Amino acid sequence: MPTSRDEKPALEIEITEVELPNRRPKPPDEDKLGFGIFFSDHMLHMDYQKGEGWHRVRIEPYGSLSLDPASLALHYGQQIFDGLKAFRSGEGAVRLFRPREYLERMNRSSARLCMPGVDVESTLEALRALVRIDSDWVPKKRGASLYIRPVILATEAALGVKVSDEYSFFVLTGPVGPYYAEGFNPTKILVTDRYVRAVRGGIGEVKTPGNYAASLMAAEEAYEQGYTQVLWLDACSRSYVEEVGTSNIFFYLNGVLVTPPLKGSILPGVTRRTVIELAGNWDIPVEERPISIEEVIESIGKGTLGEIFASGTAAVISPVGQIGYQGTDYTVNQGAVGELAQRLFDEITGIQYGERPDPHGWMVPVAD
Ligand SMILES: Cc1ncc(COP(=O)(O)O)c(C=O)c1O
């Protein structure tokens, strides 16, 4: 089973199933799942100890964690997470979307925070076992899915800033609906030049809670002003676009799909990569290059910016209808869903729900 870089593999998953009468109530309506509100019956756990590696791989009933209040993660933020999804196809098969890539990203996050990585293949086996056990939690409704949240946190009890010698890995799952209340309707986003999310050389390119804590104040202020998300600019010059909320961003400019390059402050999204690969297959030119907010605003004015959309696991593709910048709202594509955003959304979700061919082998079934 999952091992760190250097230690011997554990081989078994201990399984403690929840007794039928103690099962958690299922969501009453798959049209009203929201995001991150419901949690399935079971969790995956494993423990890490320096010198021993990952061990005690187990699936247990969903429940509270027992943590020493001096656990390093609680004090100094040595903690990472990721987020992927399982989908039910029309025939009922349950499949994960690009799971290895999410686990590889989780390992990069771990490495940046001096935490042990997991063995991708055996961790994937354990994830598949978890989703199989809770497969009746995978929604049947098109548009809904099972969100999977792996977390690693530093559990050594010590009040000095140091690299922990002990970690806990756990995975929660739960049924989710579309991320935005607006569904696939275009969103209204606010460019902030007051706050920054991450700086190159920092931790912006990995999934660690501090990045999200740092984003809350800007997001709250944006909601208060009627916007859905914040569009972040680079932390140094505050002129180049980085990403939007918990998504990457794309501009369809003069027939070229432009997205900011991965230079250390942006999360390398799995959906971003999916969009780039699909655009390549469709002979749409893609440029990963710096794009300034001035260029964006100017091209909206000139009519050369056809579409803006965000990409992410939660919402897949999220068209942007309006951008607020320095007190003015700029409308993109007459506030309508763009053709390319629609085509990408249809293709990605078509593959995820097993309605379209999957030539890239992105979907991994949970059953053998
Ligand atoms: C900050 C941030 N950027 C971008 C993304 C999109 O990444 P992905 O497509 O892998 O979900 C996410 C979501 O994970 C995110 O949290």
Residuewise pLDDT in 10s, the chain (368 residues): 444 444 444 458 999 999 999 999 999 999 899 999 999 999 999 999 999 999 999 999 999 999 999 999 999 999 999 999 999 998 889 999 999 999 999 999 999 999 999 999 999 999 999 999 999 999 999 999 999 999 999 999 999 999 999 999 999 999 999 776 666 889 999 999 999 999 999 999 999 999 999 999 999 999 999 999 999 999 999 999 999 999 999 999 999 999 999 999 999 999 999 999 999 999 999 999 999 999 999 999 999 999 999 999 999 999 999 999 999 999 999 999 999 999 999 999 999 999 999 999 999 999 98
Domains of the chain, earliest start first: 14-176 (3.30.470.10), 187-352 (3.20.10.10)
Residue where the block lists tokens 């729900």: 353
What is the distance in A from the centroid of ligand 1 to the CA of 98? 14
- With contact defined as beta carbons under 8 Å apart, do 115 and 80 qualify? yes
Tell me which residues have their CB closer than 6 angstroms to ligand 1.
83, 243, 246-248, 267, 269-272, 311-313
pLDDT at 178: 78
Nearest Cα residue to atom 7 of ligand 1: 269
Q: Which atom of ligand 1 is nearest to the CA of 82?
A: 14
Our mutation pick for probing the ligand 1 site, out of 241, 246, 273, counting the most ligand atoms within 8 A of Cβ, is: 246
Tokens linked to 100? 């290895």
Our mutation pick for probing the ligand 1 site, out of 179, 207, 247, 275, counting the most ligand atoms within 8 A of Cβ, is: 247
CB neighbour list of residue 305: distance below 8 Å, 6 or more residues apart: 251, 252, 253, 296, 299, 332
pLDDT at 368: 87
- Gap between the Cα atoms of 306 and 102, Å rounded: 31
pLDDT at 180: 65
pLDDT at 6: 47
pLDDT at 2: 46
Full-model pTM:
0.95
What is the distance in A from the centroid of ligand 1 to the CA of 196? 17
